Each structure stands twice: as C-alpha cells, then as structure tokens.
Structure 1
Amino acid sequence: MERRSVKQKAARLFGQWGVFFKGFLEHPKMVGSIIPSSRFTISKMLSRVKWDECKVFVEYGPGVGTFCQPVLDRLPRDGQLIVIDTNPLYIDYLKKHFRDSRFSAVLGSAADVEEIVRAHGHQNADYVLSGLPFSTLPKGVGPAIAAATYRVIRPGGAFLVYQFSAKARDFMAPHFERIDNGFEPLNVLPCQLFWGWKEPAA
C-alpha cells in the first residue's frame, strides 16, 4: 500500500511537470518560467493578502496550478478563485485537477478580466495575482492587462506580481498609487515580487 502511494504521488508530480513543460515549449513567451514557483515564493507572495476581506481572487497564467491550492487553502468558504490562461492545455488540466466549487478556470486573455469577473457575478476582484512575463508579451498586451487589472480591483485591493525582471514594475507604475517591492532568492530563478495597491478613495 505504501509503495503504491509513493508511485501515485510520483505519477502526479511528473504528470504535472510534464504538462507544465509541454506548455512552456508550445508558448515560451507566454510562460514566465520553465519550472513552477517555489513554496517560498508562494508563501511570500500571498503573505500580504487580507484573507478575511477576500471574496474574489483572480490569477493570470496559473500554469498547472502551483498557486491554486495555497490560495484555496486560505480563501474563505464563500470566496471564489478565478484563473485565466490562454493555453487550453493548462485550462483542461486545471479543470480536471481542481474540484473545489470555489474554483473556476477560464480560457481567455487577462486583458478581458473585467468581462470575465462580471460573467462570474462580481463587479470587482479583491486581489489579482500574475506571473505573466510582461516584458515578452506581444506589443500592447502588457499595458492593456495592467490598465484592465487596475480597473477591476476594488479600492484597497492589490495586484500581486512575481517576475524574474524588474521591468514588470514599469507596467504597474502608471496605474497603482503604491508599489511595494520584494525579492525571493529561493526560487529558480530568483524572482522580483511586487504588490501594487489601489488606494481607497479619500
């Protein structure tokens, strides 16, 4: 029984990595890394979320769901996690893997986040997480995503971004009043962390 359990865990692990790697090979400019984020990056990135005030959490480019379970573990019972990806390979994998009623996987563009959030019965998102490689996205897509993200986030919410390059901050700066910086060395590769806050109205 124990041996079978180990084999099952190994199969799930390599299956997940296999899907992730295949997605990277198919769309290298749309996937931020060849390796999923480390648990240290996940923990630090989510540490500033006020979970008791979070009802709608959105993630761009979830890949094989490295952040999904940690978010669901923290999300209130009446919350919702909406993930958006342009790769049907990842969306199909996520729909099969996550059976939580609070989870929704959408095949689409992050630039359409406002329409996607409204289609799920909400006007705003509390937090939006992104690992998209802004600097390698097609021309105009990065700025469009940053602008739409600012509009969809409620006052007091935040845009959480993790990147290998600090250039992601340049896309956030025109919209977010305050941007906190962080760094996580225990990741392959070490990555920059940003929290862009949409300040409450005066």
Structure 2
Amino acid sequence: MHSNDLAQLPLRQRIKARAERLFGAWGVFAKGFVKHPVMVGSIVPSSDRTIRKMLAPVPWQTVELFVEYGPGVGTFCRPVLDKLPRNATYIAIDTNPDFIRYLRKTIPDSRFIAVHGSAADVEAIIAQHGFAHADYVLSGLPLSTLPGNVADEIAQATHRALRPGGAFLVYQFNTFTNQLIRPYFDRVDRGYEFWNVLPCHLFWGWKADSETTAKRSHH
C-alpha cells in the first residue's frame, strides 16, 4: 500500500497515524538522540530546503533501488517516496530499533523496506532483497564521529553497492565527508544549505559509469 493510501484506512486508524506523524516523530527522534547521540548527530530533523537541495540531482524516472542510511523518523522518507516510481524500492537502514519500529508503523507503502542493520553491510542487505546494486544511496549519519574505521568501511561498501553512474548523497555538519569519499568516487560535487539547524554541508559522490571508465583506461 502506497503512502497516499492512508485515506483508505478506517477513520480511527487515520487519525492515529496522522497524530503519530505530527507529534510522535519528535518524541522518537529526541529519544534516539539521547540514547545514541553519536549515531543520530542532531536532535533536529533536516529542513525542507535541505531535503529539496539534497535530492535535486536524482533523475527519479530511472531509479529502481534507493537506499538510505540513518533515516531516523523518516524526514527524507516521504519526500523520496513522493518522487519514487511505483515499481521502485526504497530500503532504509538504521541501527536504532526504535526508529525502525516507528518507520514500519507509520509508512504504509509497499515500496518501503525498513531494515535494522548497519550501513557497512549494505551489500548484503540489498542482496537479501534481490538487488545487485543500488542507484542512489543517501546518508545523514554523522560520519566524522563514527568509531574506528566504520566511516571508511561505509564509504567503500557504498561505492561497491552503487551501480556505475550512481551516486552517494551525504548531508553533514562539517566537511569531513569530502576527504572521506574522494578516494572512492570519480567526482564529488558540493553544496551548502544555511537554512538548516545546524547549517548543512551537502555532498554528491558520483561513481564512474562504464563508458567513462573505459575512456580513462585508454589514456
């Protein structure tokens, strides 16, 4: 059932679902931040302007699999689902079981799959759902504060998981991502959104398509 099919639910369920979306999200998000501040990164969800700018380069009509790391309470989920083709799939991966339960409960869309797991395991996760590669991967994980080599493992796994020509979309409060993903991605575009709490750095890491790779191999 798609997100706009909420209207088909009984009135009591519709009211409850809308109330949870309106008020419950803040409570769940704040709880997640208090329990796992290193993994959540911010107590305030991204602004609408950040969402629009981050997703703007995606050619939605070509997307078959969209993946998100650290979806939280779904700040990006509904805007993505509004743009995603009807036959596409959206896999959201989070290590916080509270967020996963909340997403499963509040997003009744057959295209949407909420997975309790680690972004570093993205290849195995998408394979479990019948995909060889993702078209685009979005991340709001606070990469600079992740322990050990986890951030680098995520960057490498994401590059392998993406199809040629796909992209890693990252929004952060610092510029650490630039140095993290440049060794793995053919091109990194950068942006900035002031109207966000806090102001946000945006990155789009593009994986070379096969044609570009072939041309470079002959030089």
Fold equivalence (TM over 0.5)? yes
Residue 50 of structure 2 corresponds to residue 41 of structure 1:
yes
Residues 76 and 181 (structure 1), Cα distance of their counterparts in 2 relative to 1, 3 Å cut: same
- Provide closer, same or farther for how the CA distance between residues 121 and 11 of structure 1 changes in structure 2, counting only shifts above 3 A: closer
Tell me, yes or no, if the aligned pair for 2:136 and 2:168 is still in contact at 8 Å. Answer: yes
Helix, strand or coil at the partner of 1:162: strand
Q: CA deviation at 1:71?
A: 0.4
Matches within 5 A, 1:94-173: 94-173=103-182
Tell me the TM-score normalised to structure 1 length: 0.95
Q: What RMSD, in angstroms, separates the aligned Cα atoms of the two structures?
A: 1.6
| Residue 129 (structure 1) shift | 0.1
DSSP-derived class of the 2:40 partner? coil
Contact 2:69 2:119 in 1 (8 A): yes
Partners of 1:187 and 1:36 lie apart in 2 by 9
Pair 1:86-2:95 in alignment: yes
Instruction: Specify the structure having the higher radius of gyration (Cα).
Output: 2
Q: Alignment length, in residue pairs?
A: 198
> Structure 1 stretches of 5 or more lacking a match?
none
Residues 65/170 of structure 1: CA separation in 2 closer, same or farther (3 Å cut): same
Alpha-carbon displacement from aligned partner over 1:102-147 (angstroms, at most 9, x marks no partner): 0000000000000000001000000000000011001110000000
Q: 1:161-181: per-residue Cα shift (whole Å, max 9, x none)?
A: 000000111211110010000
Structure 1 residue runs of 4 or more that deviate by more than 6 Å after TM superposition: 5-8
Partners of 2:17 and 2:106 within 8 A in 1: no
Q: Secondary structure at the match of 1:66?
A: coil
Q: 1:85 to 1:8 in 2, by over 3 A?
A: closer
Identity of aligned residues (%): 62
The one of 159, 173, 196 equivalent to 1:187 is 196
Greater share of helix: 2
In structure 2, stretches of 5+ residues that fail to align are 1-13, 215-219
For 1:58-77, list aligned pairs within 5 A.
58-77=67-86
